[in-house]
Amino acid sequence: MVREAMPLRITSMNGGAIDFYSADNPQSLYGGNYSKVVVDEASRCPEEIFAASLTVISATNGRVRFCFNLELGSRNWAIRNLLRVQALSPEERSASGEDFMTWPTGGDPEDNLVDPALIEMLRSKMPENLWRSLYLAQISTEDTSLFRNLDAVFQGKEIEGPADGESYICGIDLGRKQDWTVCSIINQAGEVVAAERFSQISWTLQTSRCAALYMQFKCREAHVDASGIGDPIIEEFEKHGMVVKPFVFSQPSRKVLLEELIVACDSREIRLPASGETFRIMRQELEAMECVLDGSTIRYMAPANMHDDCVMSLALCVHGWRQSRGLVLGLLDLLKRTAKEIREGLRDFAGNLLHPAPKPVLARRPVETKPAPVVVDNFAIWLKTNRAPACPACASTATTFNELRKIRCNQCQAVDGVSVPKPVGQCCGTFLPQVVSGSVRCGNCGAQSPPRGVVTVTVGMSRAQHAASQGLDRKFSQSFGRFGAGR
């Protein structure tokens, strides 16, 4: 076998070849002619890959095989086609050339590819419907996608400009080469009314397009992706007069942002246009988003061959929308609660409590009295037991009391844990006495002290001058010292 570097192809010795394509761009498949095509993880590929795969086998009368899991439910295009083929009779499948095969990971002890104990353990780690789809090859009739109720959510319509008296918020997810920049607009009613999607253009043109859409709808603020190269782009947005609220993506903040969007779809709080190319791609991305269990951490992510830029732009929109209505909803709740208490007779017409709750009385905390410290007379104990406490410096028990009733250590000579200075002779253990300038000096370590009766030794003075200044005998000036000959 000879493997070529470019294109992605494996060529055999008899002239056969296997080509590899990414399903991220279904357009790249058109124009080829193949005898057999295999689409792996088909349920996570765009729906356009189905038609593109059929075109490359039409001239060769070839075959195509789609391989996929079933956890995305019957709403997914690949699983819909599987259900369609399953509903055909054997004669109809033979006439159309279509057939199917399901291969459960668990369920049959003889055919298990994975340890049954591991399969059972995974059952406790995920929802029952998801586990049955992944390991028993059962298609759930419920909506098992991450973002549910999408049929009810995609019931809105796209508009060209702002409505009178309406306020809008913008959400922008940035991308340039591999990813896409998506700008979405949402109003105070939770209706996404416009969106634009573009890629592989300069940052200057991207910021200008986003700013134009922002100004077109007279948005109040823009929530912008501030990760990576986000800071310089935010400065460009501010130069266009936009009110920018940056949002830094991290693993925890991304999870919280997407969960906010999941709740909005579950409760049908938002509406998105049912038509338009950008919103068609946005729905595809929402349907493809999946929950991945990374150890003990749950991560929300798009499949490897798809993008999530539309989803993140929509999530930023919804995040800003929910933040903006927080104060309004809080004020409405307060007014509703006050009106209810007025009807119940708890407040008067002005909203004042008729029977206000008693004010709390501050109680003085009792002062805790600490017991007097116990004084231990170690000297009195020593007089009775002839045992002094251990030395605080070296912890030796070879101790006694001196005449000042202080603990003296016979091991390190410390008094009450304080080491006493060592006189010359006990300085380093190798005492080499020398008489230098009238002082006793250790020739090993250099420790020096004046002889008895001598107070100081002045550096730079001869021995004779020193002897005369101290009233010493003449013999101190008759030898050579460290300062030169005596005079």
Q: How far apart are CA 53 and CA 30, in angstroms?
A: 8
**58 falls within a domain:** yes
Residue 142 lies in a domain: no
Q: How many CB atoms lie within 10 A of CB 474?
A: 10
Q: Is the peptide bond before 7 cis (omega within 30 degrees of 0)?
A: yes
> pTM to 2 decimals?
0.51
The tokens of 445 are what? 């370590």
User: What is the average pLDDT across 64-72?
Assistant: 88
Q: 3 phi and psi, to 5 degrees?
A: -105, 120
Q: Is residue 372 part of a domain?
A: no
What does the alpha-carbon distance between residue 302 and residue 317 come to, in Å, rounded to a whole number?
19
91 and 162 share one domain = no
pLDDT at 323: 86
What SS3 class is residue 442? Answer: strand
Residues forming a β-bridge with 399: 409
- Shared domain for 92 and 119, answered yes or no, is yes
Q: Is 56 in the same domain as 102?
A: yes
Judge whether 223 and 170 are in contact, CB under 8 Å: yes
pLDDT band at 282 (very low <50, low <70, confident <90, very high): very high
Query: Which residues on adjacent β-strands are paired with residue 196?
Result: 183
Location of structure tokens 């100081």: 456
Residue 100 lies in a domain: yes
CA distances from residue 57 to 31, 39, 97 in whole angstroms, order as listed:
10, 13, 13
With 0-12 / 13-18 / 19 or more C-beta atoms within 10 angstroms meaning exposed / middle / buried, residue 173 is buried
Task: Give strand ranges (E) for 142-226.
Answer: 168-173, 181-187, 192-198, 221-225
Reported as a pLDDT band with limits 50, 70 and 90, residue 23 is: confident
Residue 309 · residue 179 · CB < 8 Å: yes
The answer on pLDDT for 75 being more than 70 is: yes
466: containing domain = 433-477
Residue 241 corresponds to which tokens in the numbers above?
């007069």
What tokens does 408 get? 């003296």
| Whether residues 168 and 96 fall in one domain | no
* Angle, alpha carbons 8-14-15 (nearest 5°): 45
Work out whether strand 448-449 and strand 439-442 pair parallel, antiparallel, or are unpaired.
antiparallel
Q: Across residues 295-307, what is the average pLDDT?
A: 75
Residue 171: what pLDDT?
95
Residue 296 located in a structural domain: yes
| Cβ–Cβ < 8 Å for 144, 131 | no
Average pLDDT over residues 295-303: 76
Q: Using an 8 Å Cβ cutoff, are 158 and 275 in contact?
A: yes
Helix H, strand E, coil C: the string for 86-118 is HCCCHHHHHHHCCCCCCCCCCCCCCCCCCCHHH
- Number of structural domains (the chain) is 4
Asked if 180 and 307 sit in the same domain, the reply is: yes
Q: Is residue 311 in some structural domain?
A: yes
Task: Tell me: do 124 and 51 sit in the same domain.
Answer: yes
Residue 262 main-chain phi, psi, to 5 deg: -60, -45
- Looking at the fold, whether 318 and 184 belong to one and the same domain comes out as yes
| pLDDT higher than threshold 60 for residue 1 | no
Query: What CATH code is carried by the domain that includes residue 233?
Result: 3.30.420.240
For residues 383 and 438, membership in a common domain is answered with no
- The 8-class DSSP code of residue 11 comes to E
Give domain status of residue 157, yes or no.
yes
What pLDDT shows up at residue 313? 94
The pLDDT tens digits of the residues spanning 399-426 come to 877 777 788 887 777 888 887 665 555 5
Residue at a domain's end among 304, 327, 350: 327
